[in-house]
A and B are shown apart, each in its own frame.
Chain A
Amino acid sequence: MHFREERARELERMAKLLEKTFGADVATTPIYTAIKELKNENSIPVLKTGTINQNVWGYDIEDFEIPLDTLKHVKPSSIDKGKVILNLKVRGDVNTWGYMNDPFLELNFNVDIKGIGDKVYHFGFHIDRHDLTLPHAEPHPVYHIQYNVNPSNSKTFDYGEIMFIDTPRLLHFPLDFILGIGFLTSNFFPAAFGCLCDEREFVKLNNQYQEIIWKPYYHTIANHWKPFEQGAITWSPTSDLCPILL
């Protein structure tokens, strides 16, 4: 219970900070509802599999809204007001928190963006923890971002109501032509990616280029937390995090 109390207190600190910064522009009720749920010792979050485990902790944030203040980066240009709506589900195991392992068991970070101009427009994306036990055609990095423009999953959704908004500036590892082939095929031509991975030459080339291009990139990021705790890492395999890491 102490663990969940601590996480609740941290969420509360963030809520207070938002109230101080945004005032009436941001409603913090969704955060306080999550805090109350976290503090409720009778409420253990259920995992997607239906599993209930005393070590599982988590919270849901429903419809937390912030104003969309970057309207000049939005098309069509008639859109003059907008908001960003977050729906978030976090589930973790208290025993992996703070260790060099996957911090979460489940994560859905769902963002919907709504704009109003000559009509109502939508855009959205999610950052999810993919359940790697599920069958999938394309290789899925365990944590990935993906567009989701139809917020209510409506069959009759009018795709003319999608707004164009500059993507968040997500950091991305560098790609040259050789590494780019793995990136492109794994996302857009997965069958070919599978065939390429069976080719010794493809794997060797990728190993060589990943060593030269990605290793300095990721080691530099990892070097932010000193000392680099190589021996403590228990999160594996690395291909779950990045399926094109060969």
Chain B
Amino acid sequence: MSKPKYLYIDDENDSSITSIINGFNDQGIIEVEHFPLSAFQEFGKLKNELIQRRKNNAFDGLIIDLRLDGDGPDRVDFNATSITQELRSLTARGDINSFPIILCSTEPKIRETYDADKSSHDLFDYKFEKSNEPNFPKFSQKVFSLVSGYNWLNSSKRPLNEIFGRDDLSSLDPRILERFLEAEAKIVIYDFAHFAVKNLFHNPNPLIKEKIVAARLGVDIEASGAYWPALLGDVFSSAKYKGLFSEGWSRWWADGIINIFKRLTDKKLSFLTSEERVALLIEKTKINGLVAAKPLPFCKSTEFWTICEGYKKPLDPLEGFRTYSSYEPKPWQESKYLSLDAVLERVGREKGLRPHPSELKRIETIKQSLS
């Protein structure tokens, strides 16, 4: 496959735009082309141009600045959500093929406009923050993966187990995929894409991130050095998620990790301390350099099951505080947590990380007992 091409649409037209475009293009994974918004100031004109270009396969995805109605020289009278909404409707009707749309903006603008307008959250596949030295290798990999996933879905109607890369869907909580099983439901490609990114990848269960895998296995990633990837790759590879967008999002099936550990050791993972988990792993795999994770400050338990989102370190949820999220996790998803130390030190506040309102009373009581 040749490099996927993204069009970049922004009201700005200065060096900041060039640096973003170059930032992506320098990675050599995707090609980003600046879209001349100044030539398409009217909504209808812009829409028709994008439809035409999409029909001619002239691009594979869009990166759109949130405030197209901002202060830039190419400003228009509408913002990214309006045009994206229109494009999503056109793809749902089948007028044009579905494609990924990435939101791009500065952190304050995202806070001010996007976070306040919850109705727009379902429109975009991914959110890219312009400021603070973007991690271009990571973002490039994700937006590349989005295009290959969309193209793969567009190319043929595929069964669910192929889309989510799992032979046995029957052992999953049936609520997870039930919306795709309803015979009358009209499912469009964007539904799969949105579900994968927003539901499967963002909250733990049924998929978990590498750091949570390590927490559940009791392993300190940093202290274990090369032994950690050896364990993950050699012993737990069959639990790796291989479905839609797996090139961009590394995840593991939570039940797969538990089952492999059970087969290996004949022990139930959740009842063991990190020292016991790691001792069993070393005994059974002979990967001797694994190091057990230690608890964060103020924490006593090493029966880890999640991570502190502030420090990204193992945490027993019983000692954690649920984080606030703009959307409530689905009943089949697990919450995210902060450790007490991260709460007290306000770690990640600038990124919007904070305890759920229902935890505030408990935090206040603990604070008083500490003072």
Contact = CB atoms under 8 A, between A and B. Distances in A.
Chain B CB count within 10 A is highest, among A85, A117, A118, A120, for A120
Nearest to A157: B276
A63 B270 contact: yes
Interface in B152-181: 170-175
A81 B173 contact: no
A82 B335 CA distance: 17
Contacts of A151: 268, 271
Given A118-B300, A152-B271, A28 B318 contact: no
B349 interface: no
B173 A116 contact: no
Contact of B174 (A36, A114, A116, A117): A36
Interface string A54-94: 00000000010000000000000000011101000000000
Nearest to B175: A32
A114 B322 contact: no
A32 B332 contact: yes
A32 B333 CA distance: 13
B350 interface: no
Nearest to A117: B300
B65 interface: no
A239 interface: no
A31 B301 CA distance: 27
B173 A33 contact: yes
Given A29-B173, A32-B174, A81 B318 contact: yes
A105 to B, nearest CB: 23
A154 interface: yes
Given A27-B331, A29-B332, A154-B276, A36 B303 contact: no
B14 interface: no
Contacts of A114: 303, 318
B84 interface: no
B246 interface: no
Interface string B244-280: 0000000000000000000000011011110010000
Nearest to A16: B331
Nearest to B334: A27
Shortest 3 CB-CB contacts between residues of A and residues of B: A152-B271, A151-B271, A32-B173
